[in-house]
Amino acid sequence: MFDLIVIGGGVNGSGIARDAAMRGLSVVLLEREDFGVGASGNSSWMVHGGVRYLFSDPTVTRDSCRDSGYIQKIASHLIFRIPFLMPTVGGRPGGHLMDRGYLYGVESFLGVYDRYQPLKHGKQSVRLSAKEAYDIEPGLRRDIVGAATLDEYGIDAFRLCVLNGLAACEKGADIRTWTEVERLLRDGSGRVRGVLARDRLTGDVEEIEGKVTVNAAGAWSPRLAGRNGLSVKMRPGKGIHVVLDRKISNYGIISQAVDGRDVFIIPLETSSVIGTTDDDFYGDPGQIEVTNDEVSYLLEAIEHLLPEIRKARVIRTYAGVRPTLYEYGRNESDLSRDHAIVDHAAEGAPGMLSMVGGKLAAYRMMSEEAVDLVEDALGRPRSKCRTALEPLPGGAPPLPDPALLSEKYETPPWETERLVHRQGSRAEDVLVLTKDEPALRAPVCQCEGVLGAELVWCMRNEHVRRLSDLMRRCRLGHGPCGGTRCARTAATIFARERGLDAEAAMAELVDFLEGLWRFRRPALDGHQLAQEELARGIWLSSAGLDEPARGGCR
Partner 1 sequence: MMTTSSDVLVVGGGMAGAVAALAAATRGRSVTLLRKAPGATALASGAIDLAPMGEQRHVTSVAVASATAGWLEAVASRSPSHPYCAVGPRGLALIGDAADMILGRLADAGLPHAPFDAKGRGHLVVDLTGKVRRVASAQASQKLEETEPGKRRIGVVRFRRHLSLDTGLTLAGLRAVFANVVPVEVDWPDEADGAFLLPVEIGRRLDDPRGRSALFKLLRTAVAGKRLTHLVLPPIAGLEHVSEVMRAVSDVTGTKAVETLGGEASLPGHRLDRALSRALEAAGVRLETNAHGASDGKLKRFPGAIVLASGRFIGGGLERRDRLRETIFDLPVDDGARPIKDEPLDVLTSRRGLGAHRVFRAGIRIDENLRPLDVGGKPFREGLFAAGSVIGGHDPQADFSGMGVAILTGYLAGLRAAEWKRS
CA dist 87 and 110 (Å) reads 13
Nearest residue (CB) to partner 1, 224 versus 491: 491
- Does 503 bind partner 1 (CB under 8 A)? Our answer is yes
462 — phi, psi (to 5°)?
A: -125, 35
Binder to partner 1 among 82, 216, 458, 505 (CB under 8 A)?
505
Helix (H) or strand (E) holding 110: helix 97-114
- Does 326 bind partner 1 (CB under 8 A)? Our answer is no
Q: What are the C-alpha distances in Å from 344 to residues 88, 228, 350, 373?
A: 48, 11, 6, 12
Nearest residue (CB) to partner 1, 97 versus 439: 439
- Does 432 bind partner 1 (CB under 8 A)? Our answer is no
- Does 510 bind partner 1 (CB under 8 A)? Our answer is yes
Binder to partner 1 among 240, 268, 342, 513 (CB under 8 A)?
513
Helix (H) or strand (E) holding 102: helix 97-114
CA dihedral 62, 63, 65, 70 (to 10 degrees): 150
Q: How far is the CB of 316 from partner 1 (least distance, A)?
A: 12
- Does 413 bind partner 1 (CB under 8 A)? Our answer is no
Binder to partner 1 among 126, 340, 412, 414 (CB under 8 A)?
412
Q: Which of residues 113-152 bind partner 1 (CB under 8 A)?
A: none
Among candidates 219, 186, 211, 163, which has minimal Cα distance to 17? 163
Binder to partner 1 among 240, 420, 488, 507 (CB under 8 A)?
488
- Does 252 bind partner 1 (CB under 8 A)? Our answer is no
> Are the beta carbons of 445 and 425 closer than 8 angstroms?
no
Binder to partner 1 among 141, 303, 442, 498 (CB under 8 A)?
442
Q: What are the C-alpha distances in Å from 61 to residues 85, 118, 292?
A: 19, 13, 33
- Does 314 bind partner 1 (CB under 8 A)? Our answer is no
- Does 408 bind partner 1 (CB under 8 A)? Our answer is no
- Does 458 bind partner 1 (CB under 8 A)? Our answer is no
CA dist 153 and 148 (Å) reads 17
Residues whose CB falls within 8 Å of the CB of residue 433, separated by 6 or more in sequence, listed in order: 440, 453, 456, 457
Question: Which of helix, strand or coil describes residue 278?
Answer: coil
Nearest residue (CB) to partner 1, 97 versus 553: 553
- Does 388 bind partner 1 (CB under 8 A)? Our answer is no
Binder to partner 1 among 441, 466, 472, 473 (CB under 8 A)?
441
Binder to partner 1 among 105, 410, 429, 435 (CB under 8 A)?
410
Q: Which of residues 523-542 bind partner 1 (CB under 8 A)?
A: 523-526, 529-530, 532-534, 536-542
Nearest residue (CB) to partner 1, 142 versus 554: 554
What one-character-per-residue DSSP string does 63-87 give?
HHHHHHHHHHHHTTTTEEEEEEEEE
- Count residues near partner 1 (CB under 8 A): 63
Q: How far is the CB of 284 from partner 1 (least distance, A)?
A: 15
> Are the beta carbons of 219 and 234 closer than 8 angstroms?
yes
Binder to partner 1 among 308, 401, 429, 547 (CB under 8 A)?
547
Q: How far is the CB of 413 from partner 1 (least distance, A)?
A: 13
Among candidates 518, 521, 427, 424, which has minimal Cα distance to 468? 518
Binder to partner 1 among 81, 96, 123, 496 (CB under 8 A)?
496
CA dist 457 and 434 (Å) reads 11
Binder to partner 1 among 292, 331, 401, 403 (CB under 8 A)?
292
CA dist 257 and 260 (Å) reads 5
- Does 491 bind partner 1 (CB under 8 A)? Our answer is yes
Residues whose CB falls within 8 Å of the CB of residue 275, separated by 6 or more in sequence, listed in order: 44, 239, 240, 241, 242, 263, 264, 266, 298
Q: How far is the CB of 546 from partner 1 (least distance, A)?
A: 6
CA dist 229 and 245 (Å) reads 46
Residue 262 burial (C-beta neighbours within 10 Å; 0-12, 13-18, 19+): middle
388 — phi, psi (to 5°)?
A: -85, -10
Q: Which of residues 50-109 bind partner 1 (CB under 8 A)?
A: none
Q: How far is the CB of 267 from partner 1 (least distance, A)?
A: 24
- Does 238 bind partner 1 (CB under 8 A)? Our answer is no
Q: How far is the CB of 410 from partner 1 (least distance, A)?
A: 7
Q: How far is the CB of 103 from partner 1 (least distance, A)?
A: 34
Beta bridge partners of 209: 194
Nearest residue (CB) to partner 1, 343 versus 511: 511
Instruction: Specify the DSSP class assigned to residue 336.
Output: -
Q: Using CB under 8 A, which of the segments 22-30, 249-257, 365-373, 486-494 binds partner 1?
A: 486-494
Binder to partner 1 among 452, 477, 479, 480 (CB under 8 A)?
452
- Does 190 bind partner 1 (CB under 8 A)? Our answer is no
- Does 438 bind partner 1 (CB under 8 A)? Our answer is yes
Q: Report the alpha-carbon angle 146-148-150, nearest 5.
A: 155
Site residues, partner 1 (CB under 8 A):
291-292, 310, 410, 412, 437-442, 444, 452, 484-485, 488-489, 491-493, 495-496, 500-503, 505-506, 509-510, 513-514, 516-518, 520-526, 529-530, 532-534, 536-548, 552-554
